[in-house]
Amino acid sequence: MYLYVIRHGLTEWNVEKKLLSYTDIPLNEIGIKQCQEAEKLVKNLDYDIVFCSPKLRTKMTLEIINSKNIPVIYDDRLVERDAGDLEGIDVNSFDYESYWTLGKDVLKNSENIIKCQNRVYELLDEIKNKYKDKNVLIVTHNGVCRMIYTYFNGYPRRKNISNKGQGNAEIKIYELK
């Protein structure tokens, strides 16, 4: 069983280096083009079902890349980590590495990293058990991509994972056993 994980295409807030979580903004023109390029790869993947975050930027990504019209399940557990009061702030204006360091305190009422990790792990365990004979495409956000990375790589709890995400419209492949 394979998981194909794609992060949404570029948004204006990504360009402006603003921390983006719950704010629902669309892809920009570059993001749309990134997804059109990614679709060329996705159409050659063998997947049976799609899980997608219900945010606009992931839905737009999915609309472009899912040319096979595979059934979609929208799941809130794939929504980006809640940034709380850090939402919309330039990532260079606060301790971004601490924000993505497992075991650090929550910053500015943001979602606890362990809580985020637990909801993503719960979904991955559910997929593993319920869809064990299927290949799954997941369309999500960078923070969730980081959590998926830790699920498969056993990343130590006290380590920084700020560099373990994915680029916009980048696809990573994981094998679930």
Each residue's pLDDT tens digit, 77-105: 999 999 999 999 999 998 888 899 877 76
Percent of the chain with pLDDT over 90: 81
Say how far apart CA 84 and CA 19 lie, in whole Å. 10
Tell the residue number behind the tokens 């949404």, with chain if given: 8
Cα angle at 49 between 174 and 170, to 5 degrees? 45
Query: Which of 39, 80, 111, 141 is flagged as catalytic?
Result: 80
Query: Which residue ranges make up each domain of the chain?
Result: 2-175
Q: Which of 3-7, 106-110, 113-117, 155-159 has the highest mean pLDDT?
A: 3-7
Query: Which of 8, 39, 111, 141 is flagged as catalytic?
Result: 8
Q: Are 155 and 161 in contact (CB under 8 A)?
A: yes
The answer to whether the predicted template modeling score (pTM) of the entire model surpasses 0.85 is yes
Tell the residue number behind the tokens 């920084």, with chain if given: 160
Dmax over Cα atoms in the chain, in whole Å? Answer: 45
CATH 3.40.50.720 for the 2-175 domain, yes or no? no
Burial class from Cβ neighbours inside 10 Å (0-12, 13-18, 19+) for residue 92 reads: exposed
Tell the residue number behind the tokens 């472009």, with chain if given: 64
Q: Are 36 and 10 in contact (CB under 8 A)?
A: no
Say how far apart CA 144 and CA 18 lie, in whole Å. 17
Listed in sequence order, the residues at least 6 apart from 152 whose beta carbon sits closer than 8 Å to its beta carbon are 174
Please report the pLDDT score of residue 158 as a whole number.
60
Tell the residue number behind the tokens 């993505």, with chain if given: 100
Q: Residue 141 catalytic?
A: no
Please report the pLDDT score of residue 146 as a whole number.
95
